[in-house]
Amino acid sequence: MVNGETVKIECLDWTGGQIKDNDSADDVKNVDLTQIHYLSGPFEIETAEPGDVLLVEIQDVQPFQDHPWGFTGVFHKDNGGGFLDEIYPEAAKAIWDFEGIFCSSRHIPGVRFAGLIHPGILGCAPSPEILAEWNKREAELISTTSLSRIVAQPPQPTNVHAGSADEATKERVGKEGARTIPGRPEHGGNCDIKNLSRGSKVYLPVHVKGAKFSVGDLHFSQGDGEISFCGAIEIAGEITIKFQVIKDGQKKLGMVGGKSPIYIPGPVQPQFSPGRMIYFEGFSVDENGKQHYMDATVAYRQSCLRVIEYLRRFGYSDYQVYLMLSCIPIEGHVAGIVDIPNACTTIGLPMDIFSFDISPSAEVKKLDLGACAMASK
């Protein structure tokens, strides 16, 4: 691609079409996670060299016209899991139908809102040295963790995406290629930042000749944290991007060591006034009453559980709220990170996306709000 060029890029959904528009979550339960993520690229940008910065201007994102729906899933604890999988281990799913900029779901009645459409993944390729560093530090985490869960995903030889490469190269990719599950400081990647919508500008460090830019994992909407892992409103669609190479940009922008992309969000944002948001606090004390030291992860989990408890009173199931928290435009914040021993986080829930009053002053009436799709036992 030519420096300064604007292009439209088509993207599959992140699972490659494994999740279907139906009323069963068996496809979510049995999804093959060795295949993900399905990305478009890598694209070579002319004149880009190590030390430069690639400015990516997101001009538009749209679902395919013949695919006007998306999905949100909760992975089974034994196949992917999610932020709350120790409490909610089963697989679940909601299908969302699009009406212009708005969406609604037969699996979560009473909710309708405008999507803030964006890509979950964009980044430039690592250098061989950076790739080796990723594999080294993540392998060290895997080998030293005391946690009884998967803490990182090493290179995976099954279902390698190696294009037209020969067998020897394909085998090497399987042994050394980084999984796309986490974002990483050197290139961005799967950061799932919901505000990277139309009009946003992202500044990515370049580590190899041509940048080798990739993009995908398009979302119609997402909540801060994307807590269910399969958790935005996942879509297939196309993204319109303008590329600009900033020569010697890492030095000019203070990206020391070529780390940590920066971005400017676009002017398209959800329009909820501060007085129409209800916030739920969480602290570093877990659901069993155990005190943790300044643990923002524990605190954010508690914020999520407070929302589930609150909306349960109106007739939603816990899994319906879990799905909502992952894909509706909630605002997650770290409110306090210095007051030992507790970090404090908040989740802001927009009240106006609901067709009934959920404010603290509302009369609580338990409604028949259906059910999300669940997996068979």
Domain boundaries, the chain: 6-264, 274-374
Q: Calculate mean pLDDT across residues 157-168.
A: 90
Which residues neighbour 242 within 8 Å (Cβ) at sequence distance 6 or greater?
Answer: 4, 5, 6, 56, 57, 59
Q: What is the mean pLDDT of residues 78-87?
A: 96
Asked if residue 257 has pLDDT above 90, the reply is: no
pTM over 0.95: yes
Distant-in-sequence, close-in-space partners of 187: CB < 8 Å, separation ≥ 6 = 123, 124, 125, 126, 130, 204, 205, 207, 261
Is the pLDDT confidence value at 69 over 90? yes
- Domain 274-374 belongs to what architecture? Roll (3.10)
Tokens 């400017």: give the residue: 264
Look up the CATH number of domain 6-264.
Answer: 2.60.120.580
Read off the pLDDT band of 89 (50, 70, 90): very high
pLDDT greater than 90 at residue 272:
no
pLDDT-derived band at 166 (thresholds 50, 70, 90) equals: very high
Common-topology check for domains 6-264 and 274-374: no
Band (pLDDT 50/70/90 cuts) for residue 78 is very high
Residue 72: its H or E element: strand 69-74
Look at residue 164 in the predicted model and tell me its pLDDT. 87
**pLDDT, position 377:** 84
Burial bucket for residue 161 (CB in 10 Å: 0-12, 13-18, 19+):
middle
Q: Write down the residue that tokens 């290629």 correspond to.
A: 177
pLDDT at res. 324: 99
Query: What mean pLDDT, rounded, does the chain reach?
Result: 97
> Would you say residue 274 has pLDDT above 90?
no
Distances (CA, A) of 32 to 80, 180, 228, 267, 305: 10, 14, 16, 37, 28
* Element spanning 124, H or E: strand 118-124
Query: Strand, helix or coil at 99?
Result: strand
Segment 138-147 shows an average pLDDT of: 96
End-to-end CA distance of the chain: 49
CB 219 within 8 A of CB 275: no
pLDDT of the residue at 5: 97
Give the mean model confidence (pLDDT) for residues 102-113: 98
* Residue-level pLDDT at 283: 99
**Does 68 score more than 90 pLDDT?**
yes
Q: For residue 360, which phi and psi values (nearest 5 degrees)?
A: -60, -25
In this structure, are residues 269 and 117 in contact, taking their beta carbons and an 8 Å threshold?
no
Residue 308 has pLDDT above 90, yes or no: yes
The residue among 349, 223, 342, 337 whose CA lies nearest residue 286 is 342
Pick from 82, 284, 260: which is nearest to 184 by CA? 260
Neighbours of 287 (CB within 10 A): 12
Single out the residue of 112, 110, 114 nearest to residue 100, CA to CA. Answer: 114
Average pLDDT estimate for 105-114: 98
Statement: residue 364 has pLDDT above 90:
yes
When pLDDT is averaged across residues 140-157 and rounded to a whole number, the result is: 94
Given a cut of 90, is residue 268 above it in pLDDT?
Answer: no
The residue-averaged pLDDT of 212-238 equals 97
Percent of the chain predicted with pLDDT > 70: 100
pLDDT for residue 199:
98
